[in-house]
């Protein structure tokens, strides 16, 4: 499984950052972390996936009875 | 897509071009020469706010996206002058350091260590200067690639028909 951040930079310095395969607020954390050394990023436009929760992954043992 | 951020960015000073204090001093001199003012990190020209400066290891100008095109000329002007001034400041900085290192010639181990450190610093500064001399779009792209790799992403660069640069940053999740 992978998560993607797509960055588009035009010649006039217009930068668009989009996330893919994320669910929930993790995408905001990853963008902020990536841009931390550049500038404060806080003007996010959230799509539907942002409001979905991440899939729960069962890490226990399933035993057949 | 889950989230989108749109930014108008100008990389005014590349990371590592000079030690931070030197970089800020040279940058402020450039602003003064070109008729800009840095007031509480707002870049101002003739009373008009151009954008917001973020001064860390590099200097970034963020501008309103609607005005990014009209500010392009200003960004390139600052970048170009800063590149010239930074090149001179680099030479001066390296000369001063070499003079200081020569004082430690009595102790060969210390001398060799300092020479090695300075050579590494020179290499980084040279690379940053080369980046400063490229256009802002290319320079931002290179610095973003470095930051992404340092944050554990695999980076793929795609160039599309509209001559936009696209970076695809992939992080494997296990």
B133 pLDDT exceeds 90? yes
**In the 3-class helix/strand/coil scheme, how is chain B assigned residue by residue?**
CCEEEEEEEEEEECCCCCCHHHHHHHHHHHHHHHCEEEECCEEEECCEEEEEEEECCCEEEEECHHHCCCCHHHHHHHHHHHHHHHHHHHHHHHHHHHHHHHCCCCCHHHHHHHHHHHHHHHHHHHHHHHHHCCCHHHHHHHHHHHHHHHCCCEEEEEECCCCCEEEEEEEECC
Q: Do B5 and A8 touch (CB under 8 A)?
A: no
Q: Does residue A58 have a pLDDT over 70?
A: no
Contact status, residue B3 vs residue A45, Cβ threshold 8 Å? yes
> Could you tell me how many helices (H) and strands (E) chain A has, helices first?
1, 3
> CA nearest B166 in A: which residue?
A8
Complex confidence, ipTM: 0.86
Cα separation values, B15 from A52, A61, B52, B63, B129, Å = 37, 49, 18, 20, 9
Q: HSE of A26 in the Cβ direction (CA atoms, 13 Å)?
A: 17
Q: Nearest-CA residue of chain B relative to A41? A: B5
Could you tell me the pTM of the whole model? 0.87
A1 contacts B5? CB cut-off 8 A: no
Other CB atoms within 10 Å distance of the CB of residue B46? 8
Mean pLDDT is lowest, of B30-44, B127-141, B160-174, for B160-174
Would residue B67 be called left, alpha or beta, if left means φ above 0 and alpha means ψ between -120 and 50 degrees? Answer: alpha
Question: A49, B2 in Cβ contact below 8 A?
Answer: yes
Q: Do A6 and B168 form a contact (C-beta atoms < 8 A)? A: yes
pLDDT at B163 > cutoff 70: no
Q: How far is A61 from chain B (nearest CA, A)?
A: 18
A54 CB within 8 Å of a chain B CB? no
Give the separation between CA B38 and CA B49, rounded to whole angstroms: 10
Q: Name the nearest CA neighbour of B73 among B34, B112, B38.
A: B34
**Mean pLDDT score, A57-64:** 46
Average pLDDT of every residue of chain B: 93
| From B1, B8, B15, residue closest to A47, measured CB to CB | B1
Q: Convert the pLDDT of each residue in B69-79 to its tens digit.
A: 888 899 999 99
| Nearest chain B alpha carbon to A54 | B2
A55 interfaces chain B, CB cutoff of 8 Å: no
Percent of the residues in chain A that have a pLDDT greater than 70, as a whole number:
80
Inter-residue contact B72 to B12 (CB < 8 Å)? no
Between A60 and B76, name the one with better pLDDT: B76
In percent, the amount of chain B with pLDDT more than 70 equals 98
Task: Dump pLDDT digits (tens) for A23-54.
Answer: 888 899 999 999 999 999 988 888 887 887 76
Are the C-beta atoms of B132 and B143 separated by less than 8 Å?
no
Q: What is the pLDDT of residue B50?
A: 95
List, for residues B26-66, the tens digit of each pLDDT value.
Answer: 999 999 999 999 999 999 999 999 999 999 999 999 998 88
Chain B residues whose CB is inside 8 A of the A45 CB are 3-6
């Amino acid at each position: 499984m992978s998560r993607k951040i797509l960055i588009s930079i035009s010649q006039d310095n217009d930068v668009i950052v989009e996330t893919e395969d994320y669910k929930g607020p993790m995408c905001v954390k990853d963008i902020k972390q990536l841009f931390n050394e550049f500038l404060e990023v806080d003007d996010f436009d959230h799509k539907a996936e942002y409001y979905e929760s991440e899939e729960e992954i069962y890490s226990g043992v399933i035993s057949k009875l | 897509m889950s989230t989108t951020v749109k930014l108008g960015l100008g990389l005014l000073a590349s990371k590592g071009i000079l030690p931070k204090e030197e970089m800020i001093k040279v940058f402020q001199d450039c602003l003064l020469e070109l008729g800009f003012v840095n007031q509480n990190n707002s870049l101002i020209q003739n009373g008009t706010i151009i954008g917001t400066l973020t001064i860390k290891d590099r200097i970034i100008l963020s501008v309103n996206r609607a005005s990014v095109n009209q500010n392009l000329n200003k960004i390139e002007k600052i970048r170009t002058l800063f590149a010239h001034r930074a090149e001179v400041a680099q030479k001066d900085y390296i000369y001063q350091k070499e003079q200081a290192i020569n004082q430690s010639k009595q102790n060969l181990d210390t001398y060799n260590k300092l020479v090695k450190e300075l050579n590494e610093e020179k290499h980084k500064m040279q690379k940053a200067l080369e980046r400063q001399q490229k256009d802002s779009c290319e320079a931002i792209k290179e610095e973003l690639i470095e930051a992404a790799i340092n944050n554990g992403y695999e980076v793929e660069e795609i160039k599309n028909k509209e001559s936009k640069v696209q970076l695809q940053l992939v992080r494997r999740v296990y």
